Structure 1
Amino acid sequence: MPVPQNESDRTRYFLKNRLLSDVTSFRGYDIEWKHIRDLLFRTAENGESNSALLLGPRGCGKTTLVTSVLADLLPEKEFYKNTLIVYLNGLIHTDDRLALKSATSQMNLENAVDGKVFGSFAENLAFLLECLKAGDKKKSKSVIFLLEEFDLFCSHHNQTLLYNLFDVAQSAQAPICVLGISARLDVIELLEKRVKSRFSHRQIFLLPKENDIDERIMLFKTLLKLTTAKEISEHNKNYKPIPLEVLQNRELPLLRRIFNPNDYNFNSKWVSQWNKHIDLLASSRSVIAVLQNMYEYDVIEGPFKSFLFELVSQLDETNPWITVDSIQSLGQHFESDDKVSLLCGLSVLELCLLIAMKHHSEIYDRDPFNFEMVLTRYNKFANSSSTMQGIERSVILKAYEHIKNLELIAPLTGATSKVQKEYQLHRLLLTYGQINQGLQKSQNLPTEISQWAQRSFV
């Protein structure tokens, strides 16, 4: 797509591309960044075998951190020549056969494997690693396995892929590094005992700060300001190009789009005006109030970048500037919680079942529950209520299933479908705060139900 000619359209184009395509700029978490870099570098340089998990909430920057590290390492000739990167995603590679096929392709070993018959997955993987031996040096190329959505690999049959990867890393059969990326902080508990015993138990957490609104305001300015000529000159001085064949690797989508400010030419006067305007916005009390509210609602950077993207998308020739009104209007939309809105449309019976689930979770520290447990707790209230008596069990079960269909509760991972539906275990996907907000916003809710919801224990 050609770059627009007028300044306002070009500004919109530039900022949208930065928000979408700048996958190598990583802010904060310097210690964690260095830790991951050292891990990958030692595998490539010293032939060390390692395994680690990178954990943090969705949208906090785990994949961006890894991409930033790779963008720093790949321009180094020794790293690039001595290392193969295999990228697997649990959403795409849904079983070990697909994962191994993709790994074979990324290691450029399809011809070596073609026609061979292997007795097991382990033999196939061992053969792939053996193929990487470099003739005279008797040394394998280092292989870095990046496992995105790592928790989904834990549901593969017998966890064969993870077992063999961790086993190779532990026994130092070949220099490999296995780096799992997951939003589940408890993912290590999903590993089978034999797999867990081969894992290094090295876990690196990206936990967002919850009390640094100044950093959020600074991020607002950093992402919305245009790049000055001085900053472009500094960028060019430190820029290390990634080899073209890496960027063209279809199996490695992390580095497919690299944002380069050199691709955009702005009039220096316009850049100065725009950046002063952004500074004024960032110092406005009204804007700070919106940013503060959004920060209190969600400290993750991902949703905030989505907010800025929508804000920038509104720019055009007739509206060339971001205004306080546009920030306030869009901020109200982003502060709203879709799940709370969903609760407002539930029936009184369904709200009562959610209250029963909330009480169960409070008493038993968010332990899973089934329909019978919730029904027992609901009946205790219904027997003393003038509003909820006389509702048939089949109607209550139907309301429970409707809550499940709305994905407000979810069955436990690995739960067997052979169990009668009334006894299938579920977990609550709502916070207590969301349930309370939904009850407050629900119209015509009987007072006795509101009072029951406020009790901590029943």
Structure 2
Amino acid sequence: MKPLTDKNLTTLRKFLKTRILNNTEFVGHRDERLQVRDLLQRTIESGESNSALLIGPRGSGKTTLVRDVLKDLDFKSDAILVQLHGLVHTDDRLALKSITSQMKLDNAVDGKVFGSFADNLAFLLACLKSGQRGTAKSVIFVIEEFDLFCSHHNQTLLYNLFDVSQSAQTPICVLGVTCRLDVIELLEKRVKSRFSHRQIFLFMGTDETRGQSNLEYRLERLKAFLLIHNDETLDVSASFKKEWNAHVGSLLKDKNFKSVMQRLLDVDLSEKSLKNILMVVVSQLDDTNNKLTHQAFLEQVQRFEKDEIVQVLQDLSVLELTLLISMKHHCEIYDNQPMNFEMVYNRYLKFANSNSNVQTAERPVVMKAFEQIQNLELVSMLGSGNSGIQKEYQLFKLLLLPLQLADAIKKTPGLPTEVVQYANSSLI
């Protein structure tokens, strides 16, 4: 490609960065999107009250999906949208104040709305219950970080919202968005009984609707970010557009570049990581570096892979590392299902007893090592952790990626050969 002029370079960088930042298009997961759209549409158009949870890992596109559906429906005159967030509305009082404001009920009773929580709640419920199905405006409640609302006192707000959603009064739809797969277990019994138990799962991975692998789909997304289309207004020459598109096309076909993209996919399937790396690589374009190279992407992927967790793992004892390896094997065998200390301890014993050179640690010592792993937040307890279950049977999940553990094992000097082989072995 010919050297870029300062004007062309500035124009190109600005254009690509604006596209990367502003591209909020929701792609894939057509069935899940249709389910959410149908749910909200029935509430808005038919006055049907509903409740549901949209569940999936961080970066899977839950919030983008909801925003895309809301934009598509465009129901400003037919319904009221109320948005709540668990990190912002940390208790029911703040949430209720926000609901009152978003429903424009602040001055409905001459300032009495800002009285006690009980008065505010009673007033809100009276407003919702006074409406009639088919005539009252529908209310859509979108609750982000839904699991954080489960820690509110007595889950009062959730109970009342779900209770109204089961009535034939003002039509409302409560849509909770969360990354907690066990969120139903966090609901109190009275709240759970009023929830519809409708769950929509959104997972990252192969887009089956397109029949593509993750890598093929990722390359298609790169085309959408980097190619310059003929109908787009960009103050550069037509010949430059043609050269740039040819360069991008050859890059996407390069085996080394595909290998780098696969490496990124092995670490993180979310599009957010790709966009972060793209922003850095595009920003590096200058007079001496006017091409996108697989080496530039590789450097950013390597930086992305560098993780403080790996350093923490390198400082663990041999016993603590062995327990983490046992947890990793459990996750692989049981498809990331929760586990408890007893399961991990039994798997550790199986390993230790099958290797005569490994000295088996006493149970209290293993428990102490497990508690240290907890303190370092390498595992996360499910639920409140003080529900009366003995700590040996309290369920938890592993917060490590297999790649992080493998990297730490490789970089930790002096590990017994048996432990290294255990980490690299097939499922035990």
Q: The TM-score by the shorter chain falls in which range?
A: 0.7 to 0.9
Whole-angstrom distance in 1 between the partners of 2:363 and 2:46: 69
Q: Matched residue of 1:110: which SS?
A: coil
Residue among 70, 95, 99 paired with 1:103? 99
Cα 1:86–1:291 change in 2 (3 A) is same
The 2-side partners of 1:37 and 1:8 are apart by 42
Pair 1:7–1:407, CA change in 2 (3 A): farther
Q: Superposed, which structure 2 residues align to 1:24-423 within 5 Å?
A: 25-74=25-74, 79-112=75-108, 114-116=111-113, 117=115, 119=118, 122-129=121-128, 139-210=135-206, 211-229=213-231, 232=232, 265-335=235-305, 339-355=309-325, 366-369=338-341, 381=352, 397=368, 400=370, 402-416=372-386
Aligned-pair distance for 1:302?
2.5
What secondary structure does 1:172 align onto?
A: coil
The Cα offsets for residues 394-452 of structure 1, whole Å up to 9 and x where unpaired, read as: 8984x555433432123343113999999977543235564344323322112243356
Q: Per the alignment, do residues 228 and 187 of structure 1 end up closer, same or farther by CA in structure 2, a change over 3 Å counting?
A: farther
Question: Is this contact kept in 2: 1:51–1:179, CA < 8 A?
Answer: yes
Work out the CA distance in 1 between the residues paired with 2:367 and 2:404. Answer: 22
* 1:323 CA drift (Å): 1.9
Counterpart in the other structure of 2:405: 435
Map of 1:449 onto structure 2? 419
Secondary structure of the equivalent of 1:299?
coil
| Corresponding letter in the other structure for 2:43 | T
Q: CA deviation at 1:27?
A: 1.4
Q: For residues 5-47 of structure 1, give each alpha carbon's deviation from its aligned partner in whole angstroms, at most 9, with x where no partner exists.
A: 8222232223223222322x12122232233223223322232
Partner Cα distance (1:316, 1:288) in 2? 24
Structure 1: any 5+ residue segments left out of the alignment? Answer: 233-261
Distance 1:353 1:121, change over 3 A: farther
2:112 aligns to what SS in structure 1?
coil
1:285-318 Cα deviation digits (max 9, x unpaired): 2212222332344333222222222222322344
Instruction: Rate the CA distance shift 1:49–1:219 in 2: closer, same or farther, 3 A.
Output: same
Distance 2:29 2:366 in 1: 51
1:22 and 2:19 matched? no
Q: Is 2:139–2:171's contact at 8 Å kept on the other side of the alignment?
A: yes
Residue 359 and residue 323 in structure 1: after superposition, are their counterparts in 2 closer, same or farther (change >3 A)?
Answer: closer
Change (3 A) 1:157 1:291: same
Summarize the Cα distance change of 1:46–1:317 in structure 2 as closer, same or farther, 3 Å threshold: farther
Which deviations, in whole Å up to 9, do the C-alpha atoms of 1:361-414 show, x marking residues without a partner? 7899642228x98599579959x98786899978984x5554334321233431
Q: Following TM superposition, by how much is the alpha carbon of 1:340 offset from its aligned partner in structure 2, in angstroms?
A: 3.9
Counterpart in the other structure of 1:245: none
Letter in 2 for 1:149: E
Rounded Cα–Cα distance in structure 2 between residues aligned with 1:317 and 1:157? 60
Match of 2:7 in 1: 6
**Change beyond 3 A, Cα 1:105–1:389:** same
On the 8 A contact 1:409/1:427 being kept in 2, the answer is yes
Identity of aligned residues (%): 47
Equivalence for 2:3: none
Change (3 A) 1:389 1:307: same
How many residue pairs get aligned? The number is 411
Counterpart contact for 1:142–1:174, Cα < 8 Å: yes
Q: Which deviates more from structure 2 when the two are superposed, residues 173-182 or residues 30-39?
A: 30-39
Q: Could you list the runs of 5+ residues in structure 2 that have no partner in the other structure? A: 1-5, 207-212
Question: Hey, what's the Cα distance between the residues in 2 that align with 1:121 and 1:115?
Answer: 8
1:368–1:428 CA contact under 8 A, matched in 2: no
Contact 2:8/2:235 (8 A) holds in 1? no
Moved more, 329-338 or 89-98: 329-338
**Structure 1 contact 369–427 (Cα < 8 Å) conserved:** no
Q: Secondary structure at the match of 1:8?
A: helix
Sort the Cα spacing of 1:52 and 1:268 in 2 relative to 1 into closer, same or farther, 3 A.
Answer: farther
* Distance (Å, rounded) in 2 between the aligned partners of 1:330 and 1:42: 45
Distance 1:395 1:34, change over 3 A: closer
Q: Distance in 2 between matches of 1:303 and 1:424?
A: 33
